[in-house]
Amino acid sequence: MSDNALRIGTRDSQLALWQANKVADLLEGLHLKTELVSTKSIGDLDLTQPIYAMGIQGVFTKTLDIALLENQVDIAVHSLKDVPTQLPEGLILAAVLERGSASDILVQTHKINLEETATIATGSLRRKAQWLHRYPHHQLVNLRGNVQTRIDKLLSSQWEGAIFAKAGLERVALLGSHFQELEWMIPAPAQGAIGVVCRTKDEALIEQLKQINHLPTQMCVKIERDFLRILEGGCSAPIGAHAFVSHEKIEFKAGVFSLDGQNAATLHNEVEIKGSENLAAYAAQEVLSNGGDEIMKTIKYSKE
């Protein structure tokens, strides 16, 4: 750690900087001096390929992982849905902030009837698969870039709409009123949550970061990320998972979808909080047993 300030590593997009400043404000409330160190990730530099086609994990986090390991920054702030379930050796997810909305939304350029033909934009394999599962007659096109870039591309296009994470648009004040919340779509594991990563050897810093950790969010995103880790096995696939606390219980919605959206294996479980330790493993087994195993095999073979 710097003698003068805690160096916060972040991507340089508007959303990433908002999230890093949120963490900085919380830490400065603990009387810690901070400074932001911004960079571009692999995913920021390549805006043409779909993320799932890049062939590497952590396209938005790898650059900051290296900065941490090389002691160029002290912590890294991420949209937790971008963070691989397996962190590099020497790094730890030390804090998770209270979650914003986990929902996906459709931002529309004009009022449309989704039962008719439409062109919908997204760079997410998960969103594409779930959308085609519900609307197989629609055309899906790739959309990459930061939040503002994607909004601009949508507004200058002939598309009927594009899919976004609600939390991201809220945080940078771009939500507007022309959107539809997709309550049926299962979000990405940890969507809407902000994660703080640091070095495992920085024990004093880890203790300080516990003070900004939100335990209910941490518990829920751990279930989601464990579910993803068990199913994924290193294979990028359309997997959704959302755990949330409801009336002293954990509700968990999850699923895996074929790339073309034709097949799906989903579940909706509810368990007592005290009995949720093995929820991810049980849920993963249930999904695999109910068709998810065949879907995952098909996806794996299609990429070989």
Enzyme catalytic residues: 82
Q: Are 199 and 69 in contact (CB under 8 A)?
A: yes
In sequence order, the 6+-apart residues with CB closer than 8 A to the CB of 170 are 100, 101
Rg (CA), the chain: 19
Q: Are 205 and 94 in contact (CB under 8 A)?
A: yes
Rounded Cα gap, residues 65 and 112, in angstroms: 42
Q: Are 249 and 270 in contact (CB under 8 A)?
A: yes
Rounded Cα gap, residues 197 and 91, in angstroms: 7
If you search the block for the tokens 């997997």, which residue do you land on? 239
